[in-house]
Amino acid sequence: MSKFIATAVLLFLSAFHLIGQNSLMVNAYNRASISLNGDWKYIVDPYENGFYNYRYQPFENQDNPGKGAFFTNAKRADKADLVEYDFDKMEDLKIPGDWNSQEEKLFYYEGTVWLKKSFEYKRTAKGKRVFLYFGAANYRSDVYFNGKKLGAHVGGFTPFQYEVTDHLKVGSNFVVVKVDNKRIKHEVPTLNTDWWNYGGITRDVKLIETSETFISDYVVQLDSNKLINIKVQLDGPELAKQAVTIDIPALNISKSIVTNASGKGMLSISSENIAYWSPDSPKLYQVKLSTSQDEIEDQIGFRTIDTNGPDILLNGKSIFLKGISIHEESPITKGRCNSKDDAKQLLKWVKSLGCNYVRLAHYPHNEHMIRLADEMGILVWEEIPVYWTIAWENEETYINAENQISEVITRDQNRASVIIWSMANETPTSEARNHFLGKLAKFTKDKDPTRLISAALEQHNFQGNKNVRTIDDPFAKIADVLSFNQYIGWYDGNIEKCQTIQWNIQENKPVIVSEFGAGAKFGLHGDKDERWTEEYQEYLYQETLKMIDQIDQLRGVSPWILVDFRSPRRVLPEIQDNYNRKGLISENGEKKKAFFVLKKYYDAKVWPK
């Protein structure tokens, strides 16, 4: 029976393309590493000639793939040898980075690109293990090391890793990655989105060296009783009865955990002297975890997050989330964000707007963003791209979504700034959808019961009355925080309609208006009833803020959106030009009139009332 189950699991994972992938290590951000960023050679392969033979059979499934397989990085043996590619003679792409913004000829390209990095390696010490770590690559990545397949990863915005200890050679090595960003109906996201489908290895790539047995996972969090709860997990041959020491010098804490046979350990520490992390005082503590073989440090803030009726409670006190939504598009390169400078510029604009909160749409953003939010005191909503019309009844689609939320939780579970995990955006209700999101929410709560659950839902007429709006969605019963998107005055009537709408939300839960907005081209001026002008957007913000202030349970707002961003859906010449123009700031950093309306609203918002 056990052999049958193992075979079934292997076949299932093979269908889902996860074979070879290791469990994520926590805090790759701070671990000693060797960067593989920089110039990578690339080959554009729309027919996937480097992956399939002319019978459309994968080379990697053949005993002798031959020199036609790009992942072998083949070279001609002599002048008669036939090899129809040469990575070393190809052009370079900067990694991390998308191919669309780096190469004009690839601006709209969706398909396969092969990327190769050659590097020299000198082993630093005996007994070390080495992992190849990717911050993210969009969308499917098949990874080869010195010509051998390590595995494949699905999902464009979460990290993944492979152990390469036994593949790595002292001296010359190479990594080849086949990255494919084609949109597919049953994937997450699906075919239809409203953002640019940037392809490539879009976040850092590095080799991480660890000891033979190392601290692979840990959670250090504060509960409502001022107890610091600590969980650790070791990885390696020596799991049982290992002492793991936790040091927090600023709190005079030094305690040890002894692991069980599985390498797990738990501990609760009482401390009355904790300075709570908050937007007003984003205190971070230096935390060190160590064993006889391994040591890792992190910067962790301690705070509690909860709800009570309509209130969101941060450290036991009601808070109003003054927010804005953000897409991960670089204000510097105009492509996918990949640097700390990108994240810093976006969050500086957030702070100048008067925000204490951001909604990171519509997928997990770069870890730089989360780390800086911790430092700058900005609360964070994170979500995965379960967006619009996912294939709800496809089991593989669900597992994909579950894997993506699992990977981002693992990455960010120790970040004080993250308070909300969002399951989805603007998904129409159906029995299959309700089951999908309910199951996903349960998985998320089981993996991380310390944070709040939400989703950007849609609003509907209340009992058939077009002038009264509500949230009519079964997920409202599951969510800790009710959130909805609405575009009265843009997609729904004219702006004056805001003056006629009332709200009747039945659940006694906090409400966040997760989106509202209007398009405006920076520098285009006219009457306040003329679409695309800054005056129209300004007027819509004025009337919308008055309207939503009527919602008794309103505890947060994240208008759409901070900065204009690229979208192939937006084709109006001289106005959109492939940009969604709902930003309060242009793609060139120019602030529109509505920016100052929202800033004035936030500056005047006194909370608690």
What are the backbone angles phi and psi of residue 438, rounded to the nearest 5°? -65, -45
Mean pLDDT of all residues belonging to the chain: 94
pLDDT tens column, 520-553: 999 999 999 999 999 999 999 999 999 999 999 9
Categorize the per-residue pLDDT at 563 as very low, low, confident or very high, splitting at 50, 70 and 90: very high
Average pLDDT over residues 292-314: 97
φ, ψ for residue 233, nearest 5 deg:
-140, 130
> Hunting for tokens 């100052």 — which residue is that?
596
* Per-residue pLDDT tens digits for 44-56: 999 999 999 999 9
Query: pLDDT tens digit string along 83-134?
Result: 999 999 999 999 999 999 999 999 999 999 999 999 999 877 777 999 999 9
Instruction: Specify the pLDDT at position 22.
Output: 67
Low-confidence winner among 11-25, 157-171, 457-471, 543-557 (lowest mean pLDDT): 11-25
Q: Identify the pLDDT of residue 20.
A: 52
Q: Does the fold of domain 307-604 match that of domain 17-210?
A: no
Model confidence band, residue 292 (pLDDT cutoffs 50, 70, 90): very high
Q: How confident is the model over 488-504, as a mean pLDDT? A: 97
Query: Which pLDDT value is given to residue 477?
Result: 96
Pick from 389, 379, 391: nearest CA to 417? 379
| Superfamily holding 214-303 | Immunoglobulins (2.60.40.10)
In the chain, what are the domain boundaries? 17-210, 214-303, 307-604
Distance CA 515, CA 544 (A): 11
Which residues have a Cβ under 8 Å from the Cβ of 496 and sit 6 or more positions away? 489, 543
Amino acid at 391: A
Domain 307-604, CATH homologous superfamily name and number = Glycosidases (3.20.20.80)
pLDDT at 19 over 50: no
Residue 58: predicted pLDDT: 93
Sign of CA dihedral 398, 402, 407, 411: positive
Q: In what order do the strands lie in the sheet with 148-154?
A: 92-95, 38-44, 112-121, 171-180, 140-145, 148-154
State the pLDDT at residue 11. Answer: 38
Among 233, 258, 223, 230, which Cα is nearest to 244's? 258
Looking at the domain that runs over 17-210, which CATH code has it been given?
2.60.120.260
Query: What pLDDT is recorded for position 190?
Result: 96
pLDDT at 224: 80
Question: What is the pTM for the complete model shown?
Answer: 0.95
Coil vs helix vs strand at 192: coil
User: In this structure, what DSSP letter does residue 497 have?
Assistant: G
Tally the C-alpha atoms within 13 A of residue 413's C-alpha that lie toward its C-beta: 27
Instruction: Please check the confidence at residue 13 and state whether its pLDDT lies above 50.
Output: no
E strand or H helix at 174: strand 171-180
Q: What is the 3-state secondary structure (H, E, C) of 588-605?
A: CCCECHHHHHHHHHHHHC
Question: Residue range 26-39: average pLDDT?
Answer: 96
Tokens of 208: 């991480």
Helix (H, G, I), strand (E, B) or coil at 235: strand
Q: Rounded to 10 degrees, what is the CA torsion of 467, 608, 458, 431?
A: -120
Average pLDDT estimate for 445-474: 95
pLDDT score of 65: 84
Q: What is the largest CA-CA distance in the chain?
A: 82
CA distances from 153 to 45, 147, 201 (A): 19, 17, 12
Is 419 a residue whose pLDDT tops 50? yes
Percentage of the residues of the chain whose pLDDT score is greater than 90: 92
Compute CA distances 214 → 170, 219, 267, 415, 445, whole Å: 22, 15, 18, 21, 27
Which DSSP state fits 364?
A: P
Distances (CA, A) of 2 to 8, 198, 281, 295: 10, 42, 53, 37
Residue 452 has pLDDT above 80, yes or no: yes
Q: Which residue has the tokens 């990171």?
A: 360
Cis before 474 (ω within 30): no
Q: Look up residue 383 and give its amino acid.
A: E
Question: Which of 75-79, 203-207, 432-436 has the lowest average pLDDT?
Answer: 75-79
User: Which residue is it, tokens 């036991």?
Assistant: 316
pLDDT at 126: 76
- pLDDT for 62 equals 84
Question: For residue 161, what are the β-bridge partners?
Answer: 133
Q: What is the pLDDT of residues 242-284, one digit of tens each?
A: 999 999 999 999 999 999 999 999 999 987 889 999 999 999 9
Give the pLDDT confidence score for residue 127 in this predicted structure: 77
Of the candidates 154, 140, 184, 188, which has an alpha carbon nearest to the alpha carbon of residue 427? 188
For residue 167, the 8-state DSSP code is: T
- The span from the first CA to the last CA of the chain, in angstroms, equals 63
At residue 228, does pLDDT exceed 50? Answer: yes
Residue spans of beta strands (DSSP E) within 6-100: 33-35, 38-44, 92-95
* Secondary structure E strands in 197-263: 205-210, 214-222, 227-235, 243-248, 253-258
